[in-house]
Amino acid sequence: MTRALIVIDVQNDFCPGGALAVPEGDQIVAGINALMAEFDAVVLTQDWHPAGHSSFASSHEGKGPYDMVEMPYGPQVLWPDHCVQGTDGANFHADLNADRADMIVRKGYRPAIDSYSAFFENDQKTPTGLEGYLRTRGITDLTMVGLATDFCVNFSAVDAAKLGFKVDVRMDLCRAIDLDGSLAAAEAGMSGAGVKLA
C-alpha cells in the first residue's frame, strides 16, 4: 500500500462550458477512471471557493480575468469566478468515478488566500492536511493527473517532490490553460524539482 493516484480538480468549471474552461478538460476523464484500479489509494482534490473570493477578478475594482495583483503572500493571477461552493461548477465532472476516492481534499476555501497545490495554500506555509494523510497510510509514490497542468497539477507535483514523495505526472491525463508560456515554465519547473513527466 504505497502508491496513490492524486486527481486534481476535475470539476465542471474547468471543463468545456465551465467558467474557467481548460481546453479538452473533459477528454481525460475516461482515462483517469481506467487508471484508478492500479492504485492503492485515490485522492480527489476540489477547488472550493466562497463567493467573492480574493482571487476572483470580480473582487478587484478595475481588474479583469488574468490580470496580476500583489497579495500579502505574493503575486496572484486573478481568475473568473469559478468553483464557488455549492454550485454545479464546483461539482466533479459527472463521468468522473468520484466513488472510488478514499479522500477528497477541498482547497481554496479561505476567502483571503488562493490554493493551487493539493498540499499547501499559495503562501506555501498553510498545509491542507494531505501530506499527513498520505504519511499515516505509508504512501510514498504519487501519480498526478487532472486540471490544469500548468497551475494546480504543477504546484501539487512540485510540493510533493519537495516533501520527499516520489512523483510522476501523467501528461496524457492532464490538460493546460497555457497562459503566456505557463505550460513550458511548469514543465521545466516540475522536471527541475525531480518530478517525472510520463
Residues acting as catalytic residues:
9, 107, 152
The values of phi and psi at residue 185, to 5°, are: -65, -40
What are the angstrom distances between the C-alpha of 17 and each of 47, 62, 89, 114?
Answer: 17, 26, 10, 23
C-alpha gyration radius of the chain: 16
Instruction: Annotate 136-185 with DSSP letters as a single string.
Output: HTT--EEEEEEE-IIIIIHHHHHHHHHTT-EEEEEEEEEE----TTHHHH
In b/e form, how buried is each residue of 132-168, taking b as 16+ CB within 10 angstroms?
ebbeeeebeebbbbbbbbbbbbbbbbbbbbebebebb
In whole angstroms, what is the distance from residue 54 CA to residue 8 CA?
Answer: 21
27: amino acid identity, one letter = Q
The values of phi and psi at residue 70, to 5°, are: -100, 120
In whole angstroms, what is the distance from residue 132 CA to residue 20 CA?
Answer: 30
